[in-house]
Amino acid sequence: MSERVATVTRETGETSIECTVAIDGNGNADVDTGIGFFDHMLTAFAKHGLFDLAVDCDGDLEIDDHHTVEDVAIVLGEALDDALGDRAGIVRYADRQVPLDEAVASAVVDVSGRPRFYFDGEFSQEQIGEFTSDMARHFVESLAMHAGLTVHLEVTGENAHHEVEALFKTLARTLDDATQVDERRTDTPSTKGTL
């Protein structure tokens, strides 16, 4: 199996980003977005998905966190899509539930090449430090659109920090499962022959 690694850069009037992801990593993360809680979530995503992830983002945080979070999701999604290549041999489907104290998040993923996103839940607090809680939902939506994923997410809880962290962790575990190579399969997991 060839290395499933990709680097993507993005330069706009709102952000400057470089992102490298290795799908078959060890969970190492080197992340600097300027938003402490977002860095924590991306580090948790890498750790629990066993992805190696490097993200450096200089964004217009003097405005708010929206452009930084959205653009990192776009770049990470593009990097995942590139690293997956033709997706031959992958498991493709996976689902997980992850608790964090009172919060529970679940994810169902199809690494299909067809981007769709569905979300059910509300975050208990509007802000977590400098991170707007609803940006967690928008992050996954933007990631799905640019990585070619169908993602269904649900979250419940009483503390937004726990809810968002459970969401990032369940997404990581689900993507790790779905992107694993099935040694029994040599072709693309579709009757169409392509994803």
Q: What global pTM score does this model have?
A: 0.95
What tokens were used for 83? 């690293």
Rounded mean pLDDT, 126-141: 98
d(CA 190, CA 113): 11
Rounded mean pLDDT, 148-173: 98
28-62 pLDDT, tens digit each: 999 999 999 999 999 999 999 999 999 999 999 99
pLDDT of residue 11: 98
In a 3-state reduction of DSSP, which class is residue 56? strand
Q: pLDDT-derived band of residue 192, with 50, 70 and 90 as boundaries?
A: confident
135-151 pLDDT, tens digit each: 999 999 999 999 999 99
58-93 pLDDT, tens digit each: 999 999 999 999 999 999 999 999 999 999 999 999
**Summary mean pLDDT of the chain:** 96
Share of the chain above pLDDT 70, in %: 97
pLDDT of residue 187: 77
Q: Is the pLDDT of residue 104 over 90?
A: yes
pLDDT of residue 64: 97
pLDDT of residue 186: 79
CA atoms within 13 A on the CB side of 40: 14
Instruction: Determine how many CB atoms are found less than 10 A away from the CB of residue 51.
Output: 27
d(CA 95, CA 10): 31
Rounded mean pLDDT, 89-110: 97
Q: Is the pLDDT of residue 175 over 70?
A: yes
pLDDT of residue 185: 81
